[in-house]
C-alpha cells in the first residue's frame, strides 16, 4: 500500500499542483535572484526561467516543489519535490538533509527534455526509484540550507534514470543549487 501511495505521490502530485488555482503568477523572475542550476553529466545547466517554489499542505501532507526550465528550444525542465510521508503525516519541511531512502519524507525529482513535438525524454530520481533495488549508487539528496524571509535555498545531487528505471540510461546530477521565493 505504501508503494502505491508513493507512486501516486510521485506521478499524480506534480500534475495536481500544476492544475491548482493559485493567486499570483507563481513565478519568480531572475531579478528576484531566483535560480535552479546543476551540473548534469559534467555539463553546467541553468533552469532559471520561471523558477517556482510552491508549497502545499493537504490532509497532513506538506510539500515544497521547486522547478524551473531553460529558455532554449528544448524547454528542458527540472523539478524537485520534498513531501512528508503518508506514513508520517504532519511533519514540517525544515532546514536539513532529505534523502530518497528516508521513511519520514518522500522525494521526487525529474528532468524533462522535449526532443520534438511528438517526443520527450524524462529522467527520474527519488523515493519510488530508490525502492526498486540496490542499483543506485548516488541516491537523490536534497539539502535545505535556508527557509527564511519567504525564500528557500539549498543544494541537491543524485543519479536520474530514464523512465525511473535504475537499469536504464542514467544522468548524473551534481552541484545542484536552488534559491526561490516560496509561493
Q: Would you state the cell numbers that stand for residue 90, as one nine-digit string? A: 504532519
Q: Would you state the cell numbers that stand for residue 60, as one nine-digit string? A: 497532513
Q: What is the pLDDT of residue 97?
A: 96
Q: What is the pLDDT of residue 12?
A: 38
Are 96 and 143 in contact by the 8 Å Cβ rule? The answer is yes
- pLDDT lower than 70: segments of the chain: 1-32
Three-state SS for 14-48 is HHHHHHCCCCCCCCECHHHCCEEEEEECCEEEECC
Where exactly are the structural domains of the chain? 2-15+26-181
Q: What is the pLDDT of residue 96?
A: 96
Q: Which residues of 112-121 are buried (b: 16+ CB within 10 A; e: fewer)?
A: beeeeeeeee
The sign of the CA dihedral 152, 15, 139, 30 is: negative
> What are 23's strand-pairing partners?
none
Angle at 18 (CA atoms; ends 15, 22), nearest 5 degrees: 145
Quote the pTM value.
Answer: 0.80
Angle at 167 (CA atoms; ends 45, 173), nearest 5 degrees: 20
Q: Would you state the cell numbers that stand for residue 85, as one nine-digit string? A: 510521508
Amino acid at each position: 500500500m505504501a508503494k502505491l501511495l508513493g507512486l501516486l505521490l510521485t506521478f499524480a502530485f506534480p500534475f495536481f499542483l500544476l492544475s491548482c488555482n493559485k493567486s499570483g503568477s507563481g513565478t519568480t523572475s531572475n531579478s528576484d535572484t531566483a535560480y535552479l542550476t546543476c551540473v548534469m553529466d559534467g555539463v553546467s545547466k541553468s533552469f532559471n526561467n520561471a523558477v517556482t517554489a510552491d508549497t502545499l499542505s493537504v490532509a497532513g501532507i506538506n510539500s515544497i516543489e521547486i522547478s524551473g526550465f531553460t529558455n532554449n528550444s528544448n524547454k528542458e525542465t527540472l523539478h524537485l519535490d520534498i513531501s512528508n510521508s503518508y506514513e508520517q503525516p504532519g511533519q514540517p519541511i525544515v532546514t536539513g538533509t532529505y534523502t530518497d531512502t528516508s521513511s519520514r519524507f518522500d522525494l521526487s525529482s525529474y528532468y524533462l527534455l522535449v526532443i520534438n513535438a511528438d517526443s520527450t525524454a524524462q529522467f527520474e530520481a527519488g523515493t519510488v526509484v530508490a525502492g526498486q533495488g540496490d542499483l543506485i549508487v548516488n541516491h537523490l539528496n536534497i539539502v535545505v540550507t535556508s527557509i527564511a524571509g519567504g525564500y528557500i535555498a539549498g543544494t541537491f545531487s543524485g543519479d536520474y534514470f530514464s523512465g525511473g528505471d535504475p537499469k536504464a540510461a542514467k544522468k548524473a546530477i551534481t552541484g545542484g543549487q536552488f534559491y526561490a521565493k516560496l509561493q
